[in-house]
Amino acid sequence: MKVRYSYLRQQFSNCPDLWAKLKKFVKTGDFTLGKPLLEFEKKFSKLIGVKYAVGVNSGTDAIKLPLKALGIKQGDEVITAANTFVATVGAISELGAKPVFVDCDDTFCMNTEQIEKKITKKTKAIVPVHFTGYMTYMPKLIQISKKYKIPIIEDACQSILGEINNKKAGSWGMFGAFSLHPLKNINVWSDGGIITTNNFKFYKKLLLLRNHGLIDRDTVKINGFNSRLDTFQAVVGNWLLPQAKKIAKQRIKNAKFYDENLSKIEGILIPPRPKNYKIVYHLYIVFAQKRDKLLEYCRKKGIEAKVHYPKPMYLQESQKHLNHKRGDFPVTDYHTKKIITFPCDQHLSSRELKYVVDTVKKFYSLNNK
């Protein structure tokens, strides 16, 4: 049996109603900042529980544009997670700011107990990364934000509909940043992103920033970017968005099956599952003894397991100028050696899920002797 990682062929294999919508849309010629985009933004803001949403061309720009709106510039510092994907750091660095890393805890998110010691006079923003479908512990982070008057941009690219205390990712900070990349829980057919906020002033500024700073075709108010979410992709988003809660529910159900069965296997450790969290499992990750051998075994058995990520961002060549060394972020380092990701998406069958569990069980029965 094969258990694939990407589910895109299944997700869009039978959607004649979507094709009908796209054909109808093409005839309108409403391709740039069109009506479907405005509809998508309205629906998305309602889904997250905020006042405003702004569609942009990627999750990276969904982080970068709020930083720009805040006036982040050369020489500023922005606190973020040491174990994030490159896009978070790239958005900060593109504006000339310095990423200041904080180690994670076993929820794979920034350890909020370590943030205050990283704050300096140069700190202008905090970008917590809601990694894998978990959320950074926002109640604590909000306290820090208020104490030091430092705005928060939530990198919620991997945690759409994640919650703490029934409050959704992307609704806690000044801004929320979401990705619509094809492999995200809510996805379109290309790159895409969306920003959430409750602040009208910043909402209006983001509208300018995503469209060259234009008030109209001939009037430029500020220097901006070409970062519009393509209206064609918004049609796809409008089709998929009503399925968002169902998608999250199925991923949670799949993860529960894994938890219940993998937890019985000596060699596998399930991460903490806080009761006041709603974890939406963009990635299903556990800790594994003999991780590399398990990874190889799973792949030989047809399971497309992965590691997110084998080399931490702070040790990448692109961050060499920050002068970090291995051991600066010990929890992140530990995770790179122990974590393994199993397919967990909404299209997996119960047979496929059971095959993953049985394969892991078989591996340890052969290797725990």
Boundary of a domain, candidates 188, 208, 243: 243
pLDDT in tens, 152-206: 999 999 999 999 999 999 999 999 999 999 999 999 999 999 999 999 999 999 9
In a domain, 2, yes or no: no
User: What is the predicted pLDDT for the residue at 70?
Assistant: 98
Instruction: Note whether 184 and 230 are same-domain residues.
Output: yes
Taking the C-alpha atoms of residue 241 and residue 163, their distance in angstroms, rounded to an integer, is: 18
Instruction: Note whether 281 and 362 are same-domain residues.
Output: yes
In a domain, 221, yes or no: yes
Residue 310, SS3 per DSSP: coil
pLDDT in tens, 138-148: 999 999 999 99
Instruction: Note whether 179 and 32 are same-domain residues.
Output: yes
In a domain, 260, yes or no: yes
In a domain, 95, yes or no: yes
Instruction: Note whether 79 and 212 are same-domain residues.
Output: yes
Compute the mean pLDDT over every residue in the chain, rounded to the nearest whole number. 97
Instruction: Note whether 98 and 166 are same-domain residues.
Output: yes
What percentage of the chain exceeds 70 in pLDDT? 100
Taking the C-alpha atoms of residue 267 and residue 101, their distance in angstroms, rounded to an integer, is: 30
Boundary of a domain, candidates 223, 243, 263: 243
What letter would DSSP give residue 271?
Answer: P
In a domain, 1, yes or no: no
Strand partners, 100: 79
In a domain, 3, yes or no: no
Boundary of a domain, candidates 192, 208, 243: 243
What is the value of pTM for the model shown? 0.97
Our count of domains for the chain comes to 2
Domain containing residue 300: 244-367
Instruction: Note whether 352 and 220 are same-domain residues.
Output: no
* CB-count burial class (<10 Å; 0-12, 13-18, 19+) for 325: exposed
In a domain, 34, yes or no: yes
In a domain, 167, yes or no: yes
In this predicted structure, the answer to whether residue 77 has a pLDDT above a threshold of 90 is yes
In this predicted structure, the answer to whether residue 117 has a pLDDT above a threshold of 90 is yes
pLDDT in tens, 209-227: 999 999 999 999 999 999 9
What's the CATH code of the domain at 310? 3.90.1150.10
Instruction: Note whether 235 and 270 are same-domain residues.
Output: no
What's the CATH code of the domain at 56? 3.40.640.10
Instruction: Note whether 174 and 37 are same-domain residues.
Output: yes
Instruction: Note whether 225 and 343 are same-domain residues.
Output: no
Q: Which stretches of the chain are DSSP H helices?
A: 8-11, 16-26, 35-48, 59-69, 86-94, 138-148, 200-209, 231-240, 244-262, 291-300, 330-338, 350-367
Instruction: Note whether 237 and 152 are same-domain residues.
Output: yes
Instruction: Note whether 109 and 231 are same-domain residues.
Output: yes
Instruction: Work out the pLDDT band at 368, boundaries 50, 70, 90.
Output: confident
Instruction: Note whether 276 and 228 are same-domain residues.
Output: no
Taking the C-alpha atoms of residue 217 and residue 194, their distance in angstroms, rounded to an integer, is: 23
